[in-house]
Amino acid sequence: MSKESQIKTVEYVDGAARMIDQTRLPTEKVFVDCRSIEEVGNAIKTMIIRGAPAIGVAAAIGVSLGANAIEAEDFDSFYAQLEKKCDALGRSRPTAVNLAWSIDRMKRVARDCKSQSIRQIKNRLQEEAQTILQQDIAANQSMGSFGQTLIEDGSNVMTHCNAGALATAGFGTALGVIRAAVNAGKKINVLANETRPFLQGARLTAWELMEDHIPVKLITDSMAGYFMQKKEVDVVVVGADRIAANGDVANKIGTYMVAILAKNHNIPFYVAAPISTLDLSLASGAEIPIEERSADEVAEINNKRVAPLGAVIAHPAFDVTPNELITAIITDKGIAKPPYTESLKQLAGETAKV
């Protein structure tokens, strides 16, 4: 069976960003139409849509919707209003760099069309949002082709969080590598960490792999070491929210812990992410802003309080895995190996030439 994934995470249809509501999966499959840039920003903030590349694609559609709502006679007035809306959208979540990357790309397109009519600029932005969506799917497929060469037939693959079709416009980054390996005829078993506290692994990864009939076993995060010790993990593949110039990787909280465990058990630890997730302006992961999310997400499970009232709670939503724990970074332009400062710069440079 082909594993292309039929899941439509986000689409630009009928003047709206249509998204599958990821807060309601897996119990309900409900779609939400965001008709303004503000609604898209809210959907990103509240995790209706999440996952770095999916956030980037939703943001591009949001900018187009924002542009369409502007009434202006001249470019300067149009662009000033657009920038204000973009600034607010850019503040919706801080860690995934794909958000800023996508907004900057849309603003650049608007500036490049300065001499055209406002109508033409709006049309051009609409086209660009569709292009960003299509390019994201293509990037994931390309990452899959490169990445699947690293996965042997019969492998047990551990993943953390959800870096699948649901975290992208389609196919996925880490799960894209797994899908490509399955498509190449390899027998793959996935171990999905549940990913406390928001449970992206339990709610989303398990659901999406089961939809595609890819064998998956769900475990709690605290079981990762147990299964590695029992030699039931051959390789780890995760996604990324931002990758610094030296190859340090910000990804969902708990990723660092899994990387340390993998190192201890001599298990290869791969990161799969498109070039748009690189932030070469940051020398190291220490500079990556880490989102602090609501304490309720830790204190409650399924809206039921499990911690004592008044408990002091911390909720960093991401952590940084140092580059020395990462065996290779799989991108849509090829596989980067250490030293990452050189290999990532080279892959990003090749993208800039295209």
Which residues contribute to the site for ligand MRU (CB under 6 A)? 50-53, 96, 161, 163, 167-168, 173, 200, 239-241, 251-252, 317
Nearer to ligand MRU, 182 or 240 (CB): 240
Sign of the dihedral defined by the CA atoms of residues 2, 174, 37, 85, in that order:
negative
Q: Closer to ligand MRU at the Cβ: 5 or 200?
A: 200
Return the residue nearest ligand MRU (CB atom). Answer: 239
If we measure between CA atoms, which residue out of 239, 195, 246 comes closest to residue 95?
Answer: 239
The pair of three-digit structure tokens given for residue 17, joined into one six-digit string = 């960003």
The residue (of 165 and 233) whose beta carbon lies closer to ligand MRU is 165
Cβ closest to ligand MRU, residue 316 vs residue 339: 316
Instruction: Provide the minimum distance between the beta carbon of 80 and ligand MRU in the complex, in angstroms, as a whole number.
Output: 31
Say which residues have a Cβ less than 8 Å from residue 53's Cβ, sequence separation at least 6. Answer: 98, 136, 139, 140, 167, 168, 169, 173, 274, 276, 277
Distance in angstroms (rounded) separating the CA atoms of residues 241 and 95: 6
Distance, C-alpha 59 to centroid of its chain? 13
Which of 241, 279, 319, 332 is catalytic? The answer is 241
| 82 contacts 54 by C-beta, under 8 angstroms | no
Residue bearing tokens 């969902």: 252
Distance in Å, CB of 250 to ligand MRU, minimum: 8
Is-catalytic flag, 241? Answer: yes
CB closer to ligand MRU out of 50 and 122:
50
Q: What is the DSSP letter of 205?
A: I
Whether 348 and 280 have beta carbons less than 8 Å apart is answered as yes
CB of 267 to ligand MRU, least distance (A): 18
Q: How far is the CB of 262 from ligand MRU (least distance, A)?
A: 16
Beta bridge partners of 278: 243
The least distance separating ligand MRU from the CB of residue 161, rounded to whole angstroms, comes to 4
As measured in angstroms, the least distance from the Cβ of 71 to ligand MRU is 34
Structure tokens given for 80: 């000033």
- Kindly compute the dihedral angle of the four CA atoms of residues 44, 142, 241, 270, in this order, to the nearest 10 degrees: 140
Which is closer to ligand MRU, CB of 64 or CB of 251? Answer: 251
| Contact status, residue 328 vs residue 351, Cβ threshold 8 Å | no
Residues identified as active-site: 241
